[in-house]
Structure 1
């Protein structure tokens, strides 16, 4: 590492608070943005700490040890990406803020150049430009990747919750349960139902399960097949299955597919099915 590089490194470290203050001064009043000039003092302090970490990460690229920069880069991306995901900050806003960080950072390098003009050659300036601009490019990429990982992780959790709620097995007695299905039934949702409904029924000790389709708006032949498979799996598990609210078009599609629902009780409404089931229980 050249002595001049060490001198620049130490100069930038000493200037970290000033660099951050200069960057914060570039903010404007923006509605619903963490980067807004009128953001609360707590948010400003968070930005100050994170910008310090940003500049520290970039500055570490001047060192001969690439591992230090890589370690700082991953730590920075993890901290900042999680913060931006939690604040619902669009990725384009972050990139814009990082562009301003780069502009601010280079102003201080120009100041260093001005103070040490007699020592610095054009080769030194070109070397710094390549190293530092490459460092900025790398943190852009690292941030985008980490941000997307957090977003996808959050989406997976939300989707898992939606899937869990989309086919609930509700116990109405110790041994009787009902699955009220509402909305569109596409192939993906039907496949998830095939996995979850038998498992939930087994866990809840359900002996008789009512699958109500009266709230289903759209169903195709592939979904009809999946519903048929659900009834077959439930039968193998010892759970009796009754389908209610089945519409003529579904019954017609099932017949065309050769699906035999003759061994499964079907009713036009859940109320009618319950009336018959509980009258049998009473007797």
Structure 2
């Protein structure tokens, strides 16, 4: 069995020193790393988090492995969600997990040297393996949470970009403008459809100018999405005009067999607005 009260108490007695040893070896000047902070409050919190980690880790030597890893996994998930660590580059975090592991292993060696006549080689390998297993689990959990946090940030940024790139701008007399810019993929087109319908309904828009001057290229899929938007707007009582169709866009539309005959179009935004007034 891996459990050993003497080893557990040895680690507990030296837990504060383990944390100090860990912090003393820190050599991080990267401004994006939480470990480079000289703020006393942050330093204190870092040491406390490291101390808590060690305290939970050492329980492996007094608990059954199954129950330990069940509790340790849940606690590690909460630790991995610390905002300051999630905002630190991942390789710095992994580095400190390995540094902490080295320190724990060094203290394991100290314990073994003090009890060399009482500890078998099999027991030593068992303790080492379970320490590595615990650190591996922590690293795996942190990478999972880091990835999840990164994806959430990317999704939030995409939503913000979509909102900024497809705003319904109120002009006057219930007339609004929707300037489209750049490439419009499937996900973005769906967002534009939903966002435009919602904003036109909320703002009481009766006439909407969809300006395509900032659109670089057009294909069958994009044209179909524009047609779908025009149809959907018509259903809620909004009359639509397409403006800013550049010559190269119109040529591409002809080559692709795209027809805008059921949609009112003008070559410029000014002409579109004049046709409404």
Q: TM-score normalised to the size of structure 1?
A: 0.87
- Post-superposition offset of 1:29: 4.4
Match of 2:64 in 1: 64
Give the distance between the partners of 2:13 and 2:234, measured in 1 at CA: 73
* 2:170–2:176 Cα contact (<8 Å) kept: yes
Residues 1-283 of structure 1 mapped to structure 2, 5 A cutoff:
5-32=4-31, 33-36=33-36, 39-62=38-61, 63-64=63-64, 66-84=66-84, 86=86, 88-173=87-172, 175-278=174-277
Write the deviation string for residues 156-209 of structure 1: whole angstroms up to 9, x where unpaired. Answer: 222222222221112223522111122333343223222322232223222111
User: Cα gap change, 1:218/1:254 in structure 2, threshold over 3 Å: closer, same or farther?
Assistant: closer
Report the TM-score when normalising by structure 2: 0.89
How far off its partner does 1:253 sit?
Answer: 3.6
From the superposition, tell whether residues 41 and 216 of structure 1 become closer, same or farther in structure 2 (CA, over 3 Å): same
* Residue aligned with 1:60, SS: helix
Residues 233 and 258 of structure 1: CA distance in aligned 2, closer, same or farther (over 3 Å): farther
Distance 1:222 1:272, change over 3 A: same
1:20-73 deviations in whole A, cap 9, x for unaligned? 10011111142313223x633233222212211221232223321633433333
- Give the Cα–Cα distance (whole angstroms) in 1 for the partners of residues 82 and 162 of structure 2: 25
Q: For structure 2, which runs of at least 5 residues remain unmatched after alignment?
A: none
Match of 1:281 in 2: none
- Partners of 1:128 and 1:65 in 2: CA distance: 11
Say how many residue pairs are matched: 275
